[in-house]
Chain A
Amino acid sequence: MTPESQTGRPDRAALSASAPAIELKGISKAFGPVQANKDISISVKRGSIHGIIGENGAGKSTLMSILYGFYKADTGQILIGGQETEIPDSQAAIAAGIGMVFQHFKLVENFTVLENVILGAEDGAMLQPSIAKARELLTQLAQEYELNVDPDALIENLSVGHQQRVEILKALYRQADILILDEPTGVLTPAEADHLFRILRGLRDEGKTIVLITHKLREIMDVTDTVSVMRRGEMVATVNTDETSPEELAELMVGRKVLLRVDKAPAQPGDSVLEIADLRVTDEKGVDRVKGVSLNVRAGEILGIAGVAGNGQSELMQVLGGMRTGSGTIRVNGAPIDLSGARANGQARRELGIAHVPEDRQREGLIMEYFAWENVAFGYHHQEKYQRNRWLMDNRALRADTEAKMEKFDIRPPLPWTQAKSFSGGNQQKIVVAREMESDPDLLLVGQPTRGVDIGAIEFIHQQIVALRDQGKAILLVSVELDEIMSLSDRIAVMFDGQIMGERSPTETNEKELGLLMAGMTGDA
């Protein structure tokens, strides 16, 4: 049996070429009291790249999950190639010619590329015919679209960019005409992202329809033909990309004017606060994560560390924050700190004036089950001002403190008796940022400050970081968002494979140069 003869596939030859590839009419979906999608209508032209942009929780993923058969819409119609189509499960979606590339890849790590491509679409009981067929197709696709991957490589040995290509190949092997990509560039270097966009354009030119879900305005502007903006479950606009601007899209996403660029005066650096010399970190599995990093950060400046996720930035921050042990020397205000002994812990670090906004607020920065007022001193709960007497904590002082911080950092809802998990991503992050900044540190470590945070909160958090710099604090920023690094940092260090590849000034470098460094290529060496 060939994939073409699978049941339920509309006879595409018979469809009029002018019918839109996807047409959604009046789609609504509620989860309990939450209306995730409200009366959404959208039409995607065949052979185009259509972007869907919106903040976290705007309903983008829900909409795509309905299209891919994970959820059933409460009301509304789905038309594929002009024909009304029921999509009760992902099998039906595949049969209708829809392929999906998820944010988190769904690959079997210890299978080869070929095995992964045919998984679930094998013809008959014997594997060999399918493998031979897939190999042929892969060779052909590699030539046509720069989709080259070694068919016999194990997935676990491939880079993230290549793994993503395997996901695309999987969809193409299943004869997908419509390809949905959910936040595809989150894990890629700029060069890899550019490559992906070339592939997508090639596919489009061959007549495939591509839906790109993202929250990055730059990607939308770069690669899409049309773009739809979602806000709070509603489709607020669909426009041609060349007739809009990032500012307009941001305003549509948030519902008010947003400052995309960070306004900041030149840094006035003072004395050196943080000096790292030859820092080395080995993880639990014995893998070297940080391989001799030396850096220093002065008072009143922001040092940004750029790099693709997983190149040792997390481990560097964890050592600095006392969550992990390492070797080498780190001096704070001239005094060496304990990297592997009894004082290598978060509490001792805080006593030295090091505050830490961790990369993962849900697993590290907050106790999700704790109320806001219990989280507001988390890590600082030993401080005198939070104790009622020798035995008991002063919960009333904690709540008063929470109310003050909620007002100052505009945390919504401003209710101390709300569990951390009930706040939006942006407000959760504001709780962490408020706690760490208000501890009046000498050095602030900031990891991925705006990951999963809506645009409005990003703007606010960026302003707070710059304000803290202007008070003369030293700030070490780690982010995988190159835009964020470029706009916030006074100096940029690029990390690759546990080492610093080089330092640049944001005014004298560009994304291309940084992208090469992030991929481990020292352009000037």
Chain B
Amino acid sequence: MDVLPKWADVILIPLINLLLAFIISALVILAIGEDPVFALKTMIQGSLMSTYGWGYTLYYATNFMFTGLAVAVAFHARLFNIGGEGQATLGGLGVALICLSIPWPHWTIAIIAAMIGAAAFGAIWAAVPAYLQARRGSHIVITTIMFNYIAFSVLNYMLVNVLRPPGSQDPASARFPEGTNLPTFQEFFAQFGITAFRGAPVNVSFLLAVAACILVWLLIWRTRLGYEIRAFGHSESAAVYAGISPFRITVIAMIISGALAGMMAINNVMGEAERLVLNSVEGAGFIGIAVALMGRSHPFGVFLAALLFGFLFQGGAELGLWTNIPVQLIIVIQALVILFTGALDNMVRMPLERLFLRFRRVG
């Protein structure tokens, strides 16, 4: 029997968790002799009070939506895909190879090709651990972590030996051709004479990420495949009874997961950097795990959690700019949020359940 009503489970618990994380963060900031109220003001000011701030917040959120959805889809099949980082790295390679292959006439054509490239590279990178898990029993957590390291090495090799323009000292690809540059929000609003999102990297990929949230929701809760993925995730023995192949579901769920992680590269490689550099993923693959945990593996939850982490990233950058709070402390705050929303979930849940039970008995 579920003790908590759905709204308490979905809204109240994450909010309390978040509040606790912020309170402890405030204490840490106090402890190093800074003003937590000013810090919070700075974060909000810098990330939410201007279109410039929003432009960055949404840019980060786009990355986290893709990687968060990737982890969430695998979660529904009870597969813990920690390889989002490597899959997004490979996705970037796919995007770069597509963008540099021919002089693309227009971004609308280029983005479709690049999406296919990003998804395919990410999917292949996830399919290998999936195959090893389904056929050989190699644990997917171990293999996806190892594949992260292999991905970094592959990228390193490709940038140094293949994609680096002749004569360049920088391990990075050449700039992508003009026809592949995605329109930013700034350019979009400029068409109507509105000046907004100036200098911010948020671009058309954000809409792609929102569409991905909707499509994943449809996939998981409305299609036969989603039904089978969830059934397999809840009970493998029942799935076998129903004639659902564990091998097929493991591989397909990981392919979808890897493709989603890979597509993040549309945002950060094609949309922002417009060339491929080392470490372009910047940990977004790992943040995706926290986003999926906090979002309860539901696409709408992932959307909200991605916005929150976008805010933390952008706000954290502002904090480093305007206060004496060291950059490392921002990582501490992010870690606290992950700790409270992910790992310490039961700490809030248990007392809350007891509280609800008492109310119910009285009522």
Contact = CB atoms under 8 A, between A and B. Distances in A.
B1 A366 contact: no
A378 interface: yes
Contact of A366 (B2, B238, B357, B360): B238
Contact of A393 (B2, B223, B361): B223
B227 A32 contact: no
Interface string B217-230: 01000111001101
Contact of B234 (A349, A367, A392, A422): A367
Taking each of B218, B244, B360, B361, which has the highest tally of chain A beta carbons within 10 Å of its own beta carbon? B244
Given A33-B357, A367-B231, A369-B234, A322 B222 contact: no
B238 A350 contact: no
A421 to B, nearest CB: 8
B240 interface: yes
B227 A323 contact: no
Contacts of A379: 241-243
Given A33-B357, A382-B224, A393-B224, A368 B240 contact: no
Interface residues of B, number: 24
Contact of B237 (A356, A364, A381): A364
A347 B238 contact: no
Given A33-B357, A323-B240, A370-B234, A391 B223 contact: yes
B224 A381 contact: yes
B238 A365 contact: yes
Contacts of B230: 367, 370
A309 B254 CA distance: 38
Contacts of A391: 218, 222-223
B222 A347 contact: no
A349 B228 CA distance: 18
A345 B240 CA distance: 8
Contacts of B234: 367-370
Nearest to B354: A32
Given A368-B234, A374-B227, A392 B218 contact: yes
A393 B237 CA distance: 23
Contacts of B1: 32, 422
B240 A346 contact: yes
Contacts of A408: none
B195 interface: no
A395 interface: yes
Interface string A12-50: 000000000000000000001100000000000000000
A367 B236 CA distance: 10
A64 B237 CA distance: 33
B245 interface: yes
B235 interface: yes
A364 B222 contact: no
Contacts of B235: 363-364, 367-368
Contacts of A323: 240-241
B357 A346 contact: no
Contacts of B3: 32
A387 interface: yes
B243 A370 contact: no
A328 to B, nearest CB: 21
B240 to A, nearest CB: 5
B237 A370 contact: no
A395 B243 CA distance: 20
A321 interface: yes
A346 B231 contact: no
A131 interface: no
A348 interface: yes
Contacts of B228: 381
A449 interface: no
Contacts of A381: 224, 227-228, 242
Interface string A388-432: 000111010000000000000000000000010010000000000
A323 B237 CA distance: 9
A368 B238 CA distance: 10
B242 A347 contact: yes
Interface in A346-380: 346-350, 356, 358, 360, 363-370, 374, 378-379
B39 to A, nearest CB: 41
B243 A347 contact: yes
Interface in A97-135: none
A245 B355 CA distance: 47
Contact of A345 (B222, B224, B245, B357): B245
A45 B245 CA distance: 57
A322 B224 contact: no
Contacts of B224: 381-382, 387, 393
B241 A370 contact: no
B238 A346 contact: no
A33 B241 contact: no
Taking each of A349, A358, A382, A393, which has the highest tally of chain B beta carbons within 10 Å of its own beta carbon? A393
A475 B261 CA distance: 49
A374 B242 CA distance: 13
A363 B241 CA distance: 9
Contacts of B231: 367, 370, 378
A367 B243 contact: no
A364 B241 CA distance: 6
Contact of B222 (A346, A358, A360, A392): A392
A424 to B, nearest CB: 12
Contact of B242 (A33, A369, A378, A393): A378
A323 B246 CA distance: 12
Contacts of A366: 238
Nearest to A358: B241
Interface in B196-237: 218, 222-224, 227-228, 230-231, 234-235, 237
Contact of B238 (A32, A348, A364): A364
Nearest to A349: B243
Contacts of A33: 357, 360-361
B243 A348 contact: yes
B77 to A, nearest CB: 13
Taking each of A321, A379, A422, which has the highest tally of chain B beta carbons within 10 Å of its own beta carbon? A379
A356 B241 CA distance: 9
A111 to B, nearest CB: 30
Contacts of A369: 234
A346 B223 contact: no
Contact of A365 (B218, B222, B241, B361): B241
Interface string A232-261: 000000000000000000000000000000
Which 5 residue pairs are nearest across A and B when measured between Cβ atoms? Answer: A347-B243, A346-B243, A379-B242, A364-B241, A345-B243
6 contacts: A322-B243, A346-B244, A350-B243, A370-B234, A379-B242, A422-B1
Given A368-B234, A379-B242, 8 more contacts: A345-B245, A350-B243, A367-B230, A367-B235, A379-B241, A382-B224, A419-B2, A422-B1
